[in-house]
Amino acid sequence: MNPVNLLDFDLKGLTAYFEQIGEKPFRAKQVLRWLHHFGAGDVGQMTDLAKGLRASLAEQAEIRPPVLLSEQEAGDGTRKFLLEVGPGNQVETVFIPETDRGTLCVSSQVGCALECRFCSTGRQGFNRNLSVAEILGQLWWANKALGRDPKGERIISNVVMMGMGEPLLNYDNVVTALSVMLDDHAYGLSRRRVTVSTSGIIPAMDRLRADMPVALAVSLHASNDRLRDELVPINRKYPLTDLMAACRRYVVDAPRDFVTFEYIMLEGVNDQPQHARELLEVVREVPCKFNLIPFNPFPHSGYRRSSPETVRRFANILQERGLIATTRKVRGDDIDAACGQLAGQVQDKTRRLARRSAAVGPMVTGVPIEERPA
């Protein structure tokens, strides 16, 4: 029988496991603490467990995080970790230091099955969901590498599920991993400091609201369905009116009383004043803040970043109506660690690249919206 991976469990799962092997359920808290609070990589380190239990765990279980392949540091202190998750598949995790916090950007899938036009991960195709151990393993490794500050606090104070993949399409594993992030026996992060970012998978947003309401970011990127259908194709299934209704429902149970809308600024595509005005109507009834993201380029993307002046003008229109609109700083782009640049390595099962090169016609290349065919 394959050994179980102890990093695959949250407290509930570990408790059930201990019951199943005839051990006292309260041992689960102790083991979770060893794994995630102290970062134990070996059952032998768990010195306050009875010798017998350590021996049986050593036989039946293992602690198997993904393999850490490399670590890079950018000029601004951003750090990128490359992790191997099985042959030919690698995912990336990014740590972003700021004055008042340290944020880890965690991946949820190997690649992504949704083909957002401006996203490097989306271009790579999709292999599979990450396991709980592979999601938590990113935090496990990064905590080891970064350690604690002089006051003994962990350097990682926030987690955003904004790395590779669509977290809400790997729902069960992501929710189990979130429960470990929030657990006081493990990472003890508050719900407000853990953010799930989604392209708008409405049924899963409703489930998350009930199961594990953490902070929510929604990748909006467009001010009408026609444009969003093109940039974020999942919009064809979950269009804007329904998405806005789901956001309103989410806010009722959310740890923050707003949803963050992420809006990527693509020159000449979605960054004009009329888009900003249209957006104000779309989000009219949703308590929200905007995070404007300057597009981060990657080879053959076909898009350009909006100028700072265009971004400022766009933000002003939102702000004049009382909305909070911040512009995300570009971090870590000298090591390709900025938003949307994470690539890792994906054994694509969707044959996306092959399909694309066979397709006729160019990719979307920033044709202003009013010039597009209806």
Residues annotated as catalytic (active site), given as ranges: 92, 339
From the list ligand SAH, ligand SF4, none, partner contacted by residue 306 (C-beta under 5 to 8 A by kind)? none
Other CB atoms closer than 10 Å to residue 345's CB: what's the count? 18
Question: Which of 122, 125, 137, 344 is in the footprint of ligand SF4 by CB under 6 A?
Answer: 122
- Minimal CB distance to ligand SF4: which residue? 122
Closest by CA position to 135, among listed 114, 158, 165, 113: 165
β-strand 79-84 against 90-97: which pairing, if any?
A: antiparallel
CA 223 to chain CA mean position, Å? 23
CA distance 40 to 274: 54
Question: Which of 125, 137, 165, 294 is in the footprint of ligand SF4 by CB under 6 A?
Answer: 165
Q: Per rule CB under 6 A, is residue 124 in the interface with ligand SF4?
A: no
CA distance 292 to 261: 8
Q: Per rule CB under 6 A, is residue 222 in the interface with ligand SAH?
A: no
Q: Per rule CB under 6 A, is residue 119 in the interface with ligand SAH?
A: yes
Question: Which of 7, 106, 264, 269 is in the footprint of ligand SAH by CB under 6 A?
Answer: 264
**Measured from the CB atom, is 49 or 196 closer to ligand SAH?**
196
- DSSP assignment, residue 297? P
CA distance 71 to 48: 33
* Stretch 275-334 residues interacting with ligand SAH (CB under 6 A): 293, 295-296
CA 338 to chain CA mean position, Å? 13
Question: Which of 89, 90, 103, 121 is in the footprint of ligand SF4 by CB under 6 A?
Answer: 121
Size of the site for ligand SAH (CB under 6 A): 17
- DSSP assignment, residue 197? E
- Angle between the 273-282 and 308-320 helix axes, to the nearest 10 degrees? 40
Query: Where along the sequence are the contacts to ligand SAH (CB under 6 A)?
Result: 116, 118-120, 162, 166, 197-199, 219, 262, 264, 293, 295-296, 339-340
Query: Where along the sequence are the contacts to ligand SF4 (CB under 6 A)?
Result: 112, 114, 116, 119, 121-122, 165-166, 199, 219
